[in-house]
Amino acid sequence: MNHLSTYLSHLFLPGALALWCALIFALCTMWGYAQALVAGDANGGGSASGNTAARTFARRSYGFFAFSIVLTAAMMSLLLMMRDFRVEYVYQYSGMDLPTYYQFASFWAGQKGSFLIWLFWGALLGLLVRRTAGPNEPAIMGVYTLTLMGLLLILVRENPFVMLGKTPTDGVGLNPLLQDNWMVIHPPIMFVGYAASAIPFAFAMASLWRRKYDGWAERAFPWALGGFIVLGTAITMGGYWAYKTLGWGGYWGWDPVENASFIPFLFGTTMIHGLHMERAKGRYRRANYVFAFLTYISVLYGTFLTRSGVLADFSVHSFVDLGISGWLTLLLGGFFLLGLFLLVTRWKEIPTEPNEDLFLSRGTFMVLATITILVAAFVITAGTSAPLLTKVMANPSQVGPSFYNKVSLPIAILIALLLSLVPYLTWRGNKFSDIARKMVVPGVFAVTLTIAAAVWKVHDPFHLTFVLLAALALATNLQKTIGKFQVSGLRGAGGYLAHVGVGVILLGIIASSGYDESTKVTLLQNVPRQVGDVSLTFKRFIPRHGFEKERMEVQVARAGQKPFMVYPKLFMNLRTKQVMANPDVRTTPFQDLYVSPIDFDPGQPRLQLAKGDTGRIGDVEVKFTGFNLQAQGNAMAAMQAGQPVTIGAKLAVTRAGRTTELQPLYRLNPASGQVETPPVELPGGGALIVSGINASNGAVQLEAAGVANPMKLSLDVTRKPLIQLVWFGLYIIILGGLLSTAQRLREMRLRERLAEAKAG
């Protein structure tokens, strides 16, 4: 009892209560739906009558559950906005120095908050899922609530409302890497995608469980498309953030956390194609269960990999174990076994259509494309799991980006080939000669582009094949999109438009990552330097002004063009004293000029060196090897006697390749407090004095006079050809997805109205 009261006294009770209420209401929801199922079964199978009372109870409970979660999240936001540092989470992730929007973004800066926002979206989406669930609602909502229960249990166990037992005046602050506009919106959107992945899973598992194999695909389709779009958008934003903010020059690094979102995206891609096949031709009926299963399980698996600490030594932004790896394993294992059990026991019963397609037909090519994407997803999963897989055999290893790049090249080529044929294939099958005839115009376009690429600088045969097929995929699908548009407007053009986007992205990827040019230069202030066809001049250092960080002004001039300025940032995070670098990107239609700061030397004549440290002033390199306490008499003895003390600083000074030993002196008269620092001559001109001694850390402060020491800025200047195509292609895919979703929703409404009309 005592134990319990201590526990309770360390909780922010309103928040914790809301969370516990959510748990109770979630249990009520499941109980209610279970009752509805039992009553329905007793009534002879799922009729709406007889179980209305239980169903109403369950629906209300779910409403209260969702409300409790919203309340929990609101409570957390409120605590953050009030900067109530009594609460551990608020203390750990936010601080007084943050502007309001970053303070709000601290919500998802930590583990617990991320799970809370995931649960928040899941609970809200559930309200809509209930409306679209149809006659199988009790089973679907039962499974769906169960998926949310997993997250809820983690939060109940690792309560986000734990208090510190004291009231700090300031929090620890937000990780400086996360203090970026993109990071304010990217994580919450990602979690919408994660939450949405549970919806097709719930539809599929409920359908298997209740042996109602018809109709689920249709209802789950818009959800699968929606999840695909949201996840795609979130991945795009993450890449954009990496490119614009992190400054390592790329948008994708095959990091485990990135892969953890990309793998579900790939499985989701197979799922939307499979559901399309099922809707159109009644095919893929077994496969779609597997796809829905894999999409959700891969989300859980990714969460397990990145949140349980198993990859802590291998990833950029992996979290360490917070003591929840057991829960995550349970969550993953539980849903995996549940799904597997349902799949295995129902497999034989699922009705199928025999595959009698000709080789050159839409059906066969869909199968091939699906297999290719599945292979890609599994290979990336294997790569991401490398530390786990190799742990069994020897010391854990990871695979570098080269693995993913090499393996994806053949996959991308194959995908491009399949995509370029898709617009011409029909369900009935086609003759090759017909297809060839239709492909003349796009073919000419693709060949022209490939020749242009070869003339430019692409010579690798694989890369040329890649360009040819990507361009072909783009052109054939564009042709088809335009054709569809002329016949029936935007309706039905979504899928082909998305394929155009894939072609565009593939071209952007190969150009920007295979043929970028990077140069590292060090610029002296106001001295122009030629890098390729541009001339760079470091103009000035602009100090911090309000929220605008320290920037460097660099002029870029190209012969015959108006010069422009770029402003890469290299600034100190005031709280952590970390140096942060932000690149600046100048976009032109055909290439990006990516200017990333490496090092800035303010050119001050002062240095502080600890023993053994080396520093530089202008062209003079100074190494501090230690103090000499015997420079003039014994300094320690003199100090104790209160007499004038003389200390020498032993320096190794290197200039123009020659090293000289120097020993400037520092004299202190303790009686008068007077300090004398006689200068020593530097070889090659100028002088050096000891301007101070830091007794606490044994460091020496040096100051030089008469040494030319201009400001210096080291930059990494990269030219990335056609990188805009990557973003442009992603927008096209997202747009295509939106069009398809709108079309599916329209069809669903139409069908419902038809059914109503029939019933009436």
Partner 1 sequence: MKKNRLYVLGGLLLVAFAGFSFTTFKSSMTPYVSYQQARQGDRIVQVAGALEKGSSSYAEAKESLYFTLKEPKTSENLRVRFKGVKPGNFEDAISIVAIGRYDEKSKEFAAEKLLVKCPSKYQGAEVKSYS
> CB 267 → partner 1: shortest distance, Å?
18
- Does residue 591 bind partner 1 (CB under 8 A)? no
- CA triple 418-421-427, angle to 5 deg: 100
- Does residue 457 bind partner 1 (CB under 8 A)? no
How many residues contact partner 1, by CB under 8 A? 65
d(CA 39, CA 53): 10
Segment lying near partner 1 (by CB under 8 A), choices 34-42, 156-164, 486-494, 605-613: 605-613
Segment lying near partner 1 (by CB under 8 A), choices 114-122, 135-143, 481-489, 577-585: 577-585
Buried b (16+ CB within 10 A) or exposed e, 218-253: bbbbbbbbbbbbbbbbbbbbbbbbbbbbbbebbbbb
Segment lying near partner 1 (by CB under 8 A), choices 39-47, 585-593, 682-690, 708-716: 708-716
Nearest residue to 532 (alpha-carbon basis) of 391, 718, 746: 718
Instruction: Compute the radius of gyration of the chain from its Cα atoms.
Output: 32
Q: Which residues, in sequence order, are CB contacts of 703 under 8 Å at separation 6+?
A: 605, 606, 607, 688, 689, 691
Site string for partner 1, 534-553 (x = CB under 8 A): --------------------
User: Binder to partner 1 among 581, 617, 645, 739 (CB under 8 A)?
Assistant: 581
- Does residue 388 bind partner 1 (CB under 8 A)? no
Nearest residue to 173 (alpha-carbon basis) of 581, 579, 580, 574: 574
Segment lying near partner 1 (by CB under 8 A), choices 103-111, 119-127, 324-332, 701-709: 103-111
> CB 50 → partner 1: shortest distance, Å?
50
- Does residue 225 bind partner 1 (CB under 8 A)? no
Nearest residue to 470 (alpha-carbon basis) of 522, 415, 428, 519: 415
- Does residue 172 bind partner 1 (CB under 8 A)? yes
Whether the CB-CB separation of 343 and 290 falls below 8 Å is answered with yes
Half-sphere exposure of 741 (CA within 13 A, CB side): 16
Segment lying near partner 1 (by CB under 8 A), choices 112-120, 313-321, 670-678, 733-741: 313-321
Q: Which residue lies nearer to partner 1 by CB, 144 or 600?
A: 600
SS3 742: helix
Site string for partner 1, 128-167 (x = CB under 8 A): ----------------------------------------
- Does residue 398 bind partner 1 (CB under 8 A)? yes
Q: Provide the CA 506 distance to its chain's centre, in angstroms.
A: 20
Nearest residue to 679 (alpha-carbon basis) of 659, 655, 652, 703: 703
d(CA 370, CA 271): 9
- Does residue 96 bind partner 1 (CB under 8 A)? no
User: Binder to partner 1 among 70, 164, 185, 375 (CB under 8 A)?
Assistant: 375
- Does residue 625 bind partner 1 (CB under 8 A)? no
Q: Which residue lies nearer to partner 1 by CB, 410 or 683?
A: 410
Q: Which residue lies nearer to partner 1 by CB, 148 or 580?
A: 580
Half-sphere exposure of 327 (CA within 13 A, CB side): 17
SS3 314: coil
- Does residue 400 bind partner 1 (CB under 8 A)? yes
User: Binder to partner 1 among 41, 170, 214, 313 (CB under 8 A)?
Assistant: 313
Nearest residue to 180 (alpha-carbon basis) of 264, 120, 259, 242: 242
Segment lying near partner 1 (by CB under 8 A), choices 316-324, 334-342, 536-544, 680-688: 316-324
> CB 311 → partner 1: shortest distance, Å?
9
Segment lying near partner 1 (by CB under 8 A), choices 48-56, 406-414, 561-569, 651-659: 406-414
Q: Which residue lies nearer to partner 1 by CB, 174 or 556?
A: 174
User: Binder to partner 1 among 25, 130, 228, 255 (CB under 8 A)?
Assistant: 255
Mode of pairing for the β-strands spanning 591-601 and 712-721: antiparallel
Q: Which residue lies nearer to partner 1 by CB, 520 or 606?
A: 520
Interacting positions 511-530 with partner 1 (CB under 8 A): 520, 522
User: Binder to partner 1 among 158, 218, 553, 613 (CB under 8 A)?
Assistant: 613
Segment lying near partner 1 (by CB under 8 A), choices 488-496, 539-547, 587-595, 596-604: 596-604
Q: Which residue lies nearer to partner 1 by CB, 3 or 406?
A: 406
- Does residue 379 bind partner 1 (CB under 8 A)? yes
Q: Which residues, in sequence order, are CB contacts of 303 under 8 Å at separation 6+?
A: 194, 260, 328, 332
Nearest residue to 342 (alpha-carbon basis) of 210, 225, 483, 476: 210
Nearest residue to 508 (alpha-carbon basis) of 559, 453, 556, 560: 453
User: Binder to partner 1 among 146, 190, 580, 653 (CB under 8 A)?
Assistant: 580
d(CA 588, CA 84): 46
Whether the CB-CB separation of 521 and 715 falls below 8 Å is answered with yes
User: Binder to partner 1 among 320, 444, 574, 641 (CB under 8 A)?
Assistant: 320
- Does residue 427 bind partner 1 (CB under 8 A)? no
User: Binder to partner 1 among 396, 492, 514, 605 (CB under 8 A)?
Assistant: 396
- Does residue 382 bind partner 1 (CB under 8 A)? yes
What is each CA distance from 275 to 359, 370, 374, in whole angstroms? 21, 12, 15
Q: Which two tokens stand for residue 81?
A: 């906005």
d(CA 155, CA 111): 10
User: Binder to partner 1 among 488, 578, 660, 669 (CB under 8 A)?
Assistant: 578
- Does residue 432 bind partner 1 (CB under 8 A)? no
- CA triple 125-129-132, angle to 5 deg: 145
Q: Provide the CA 370 distance to its chain's centre, in angstroms.
A: 25
Q: Which residues, in sequence order, are CB contacts of 356 under 8 Å at separation 6+?
A: none
Q: Which residue lies nearer to partner 1 by CB, 218 or 621?
A: 621
SS3 57: helix
> CB 478 → partner 1: shortest distance, Å?
29
> CB 416 → partner 1: shortest distance, Å?
16
Whether the CB-CB separation of 524 and 512 falls below 8 Å is answered with no
Task: Point out which residues bind partner 1 (CB under 8 A).
Answer: 92-93, 109-111, 172-175, 177, 247-248, 253, 255, 312-320, 322, 359, 368, 371, 375, 379, 382-383, 386, 390, 394-400, 402-403, 406-407, 410, 520, 522, 573, 576, 578-581, 596-599, 610-614, 712, 714, 716
